[in-house]
Amino acid sequence: MKITVVGTGYVGLVSGTCLAEVGNDVLCLDVDPEKIRILEEGGIPIYEPGLQEMVRRNVAAGRLHFTTSIEKAVDHGTIQFIAVGTPPDEDGSADMKYVLAAARNIGRLMTDYKIVVDKSTVPVGTADLVRATVAEELKKRGTEVPFSVVSNPEFLKEGAAVEDFMRPDRIVVGAEDEQAILLMKALYAPFQRNHERLIVTDVKSAELTKYAANAMLATRISFMNELANLAEKLGADIEMVRQGIGSDPRIGYHFLYPGCGYGGSCFPKDVKALIKTAADKANIELKVLTAVEEANDLQKHVLTGKIKAHFGDLRGKHFALWGLAFKPNTDDMRDAPSRTLIADLLAAGASVTAYDPVAMHEAKRIFGDQDGLRYGDSPMGCLDDADALVIVTEWKEFRSPDFDGIKAKLKAPVVFDGRNLYDPKFVRAAGLTYLPIGR
Ligand code: NAD
């Protein structure tokens, strides 16, 4: 099939590449010429395990192409995926300007049947808006060209995006016309292993499903974070509580890890957007989700609170920080807890040397030449002159460090662990003061 993917970011590039991998002819469009230049030169503009090789393979096979030409992009695909960003607007609602710009381009230039597929995370009602936008552009041209609009939210996780796309738990297709449903089923047939994973819904339900999934996951995290804070005060151990409740199949172990707050490009903005949609379109206050968001905003400062409680005045103190990305296996720092912590520490007069296996280039882009912030070339390298170590992201390479080496390097041998990576007894036996979350 001939497919165009509009927006070559985390979702667009992964989707386009995986669709090429199963034999489709894919053209990826982006308005950012730098991204397209990197891709055309054989690189990839993001860090995502396994993606580089898959991009190379499909480019070499002639199935995957990149362009900044809107004309070529609209002309190419019968299926036009919209995978552009939907960042939060100032009031928390999802900003639709990129999605609608993509829809306008399609309506302005299409000459034959197209299926316009919303893959971006968009509020309920967006498919109607996309349909109206395409129709308006066709009307301006005085032409009638048939098209369908489908909602196909994406559930991939950064860090495991290729695997998630190639072997999805489910594929949600919100569509109301038979031709589009048939084509979407054929498109996704190669990604369904031993049983049907494609769920066809009406368009609005598909749009809401994506927000519901992220809101549920964010809720589990905020719930566990609050319980962790409580456990700590009561002298209980949240890790034991986690195992005790996770073993109930109605609860399960996934997404029950307490920490220093959720971040990333999806949970914070999607929780906000759903609260806003409910308020604006249905006059409903989503009380649970409002609390989820408030709890998370507080939790992002939990490490700062612990550090201040331990050291008092932070002026002149120096901290080693492990982990900048919002989670392991990605270089994405959108809304990352590390950003809150770094801002807090610098504002309190402390300085920081940070290390991350892949996100340091992103941190340098975000923070620029920020006074008081430096970068280490290895986890142990950033401990020089540090008073204490703070762990923010649970990268595998931080899981079994040389605790004796850490103790020897730190001035006050304290480890603040925002991800509960270690057995407290083991770390304390090494002579370190260990301050994890909720235990
Ligand atoms: P991103 O910022 O990485 O990529 C978006 C890309 O779209 C950018 O490269 C941008 O230059 C490009 N773009 C913007 N307007 C354009 C236009 N008119 N024409 C062509 N390109 C244009 O964003 P992302 O993380 O890939 O997210 C995209 C959407 O998918 C969002 O709605 C997000 O909520 C959703 N989503 C993201 C994830 C994730 O893990 N990142 C997972 C599921 C869903």
Nearest-angstrom CA–CA distance, 133 and 73: 18
Residue 12 CA, closest ligand 1 atom number: 26
What are the pLDDT tens digits along the chain (439 aa)?
999 999 999 999 999 999 999 999 999 999 999 999 999 999 999 999 999 999 999 999 999 999 999 999 999 999 999 999 999 888 989 999 999 999 999 999 999 999 999 999 999 999 999 999 999 999 999 999 999 999 999 999 999 999 999 999 999 999 999 999 999 999 999 999 788 999 999 999 999 999 999 999 999 999 999 999 999 999 999 999 999 999 999 999 999 999 999 999 899 999 999 999 999 999 999 999 999 999 999 999 999 999 999 999 999 999 999 999 999 999 999 999 999 999 999 999 999 999 999 999 999 999 999 999 999 999 999 999 999 999 999 999 999 999 999 999 999 999 999 999 999 999 999 999 999 999 9
> Looking at the domain assignment, is residue 206 inside a domain?
no
Q: Burial code of 241-254, b = ≥16 C-beta within 10 A, e = fewer? A: bbeeeeeeeeeeee
H/E stretch holding 234 reads helix 203-234
**Domain harbouring 314, CATH code:** 3.40.50.720
Pair (164, 236) in one structural domain:
no
State the pLDDT at residue 138. Answer: 98
Pair (260, 351) in one structural domain:
no
Residue 35 CA, closest ligand 1 atom number: 9
pTM for the whole thing? 0.95
Kindly report the protein residue whose alpha carbon is nearest to atom 25 of ligand 1: 10
Q: Where are the alpha helices (DSSP H) in 235-336?
A: 238-246, 267-282, 287-299, 302-311
Kindly report the protein residue whose alpha carbon is nearest to atom 34 of ligand 1: 121
Residue 66 C-alpha from the chain's centroid: 23
Residue for token digits 């690189």? 43
State the pLDDT at residue 195. Answer: 86
- Report the separation in Å between the CA atom of 158 and the middle of ligand 1, taken as the mean of its atom positions: 12
Domain count, the chain: 3
- Report the separation in Å between the CA atom of 8 and the middle of ligand 1, taken as the mean of its atom positions: 7
State the pLDDT at residue 193. Answer: 76
Is residue 136 helix, strand or coil?
helix
Range of the domain at 257: 211-298
> Looking at the domain assignment, is residue 354 inside a domain?
yes
Pair (150, 235) in one structural domain:
no
Largest CA distance in the chain: 77
- Report the separation in Å between the CA atom of 99 and the middle of ligand 1, taken as the mean of its atom positions: 9
Catalytic residue among 18, 28, 260, 266: 266
Pocket-forming residues, ligand 1, beta carbon under 6 Å: 6-12, 29-32, 35, 83-86, 98, 101-102, 120-121, 154, 156, 158, 265-266
State the pLDDT at residue 194. Answer: 81
Kindly report the protein residue whose alpha carbon is nearest to atom 44 of ligand 1: 154
Residue 146 C-alpha from the chain's centroid: 34
Pair (252, 383) in one structural domain:
no
Burial of 268 (0-12, 13-18, 19+ CB in 10 A): buried
Q: Select from 387, 388, 397 the least CA-distant residue to 417.
A: 388
Nearest-angstrom CA–CA distance, 328 and 361: 15
> Looking at the domain assignment, is residue 174 inside a domain?
yes
Active site residue 28: no
> Looking at the domain assignment, is residue 312 inside a domain?
yes
Question: Considering 131, 166, 200, which residue would you say is the last residue of a domain?
Answer: 200
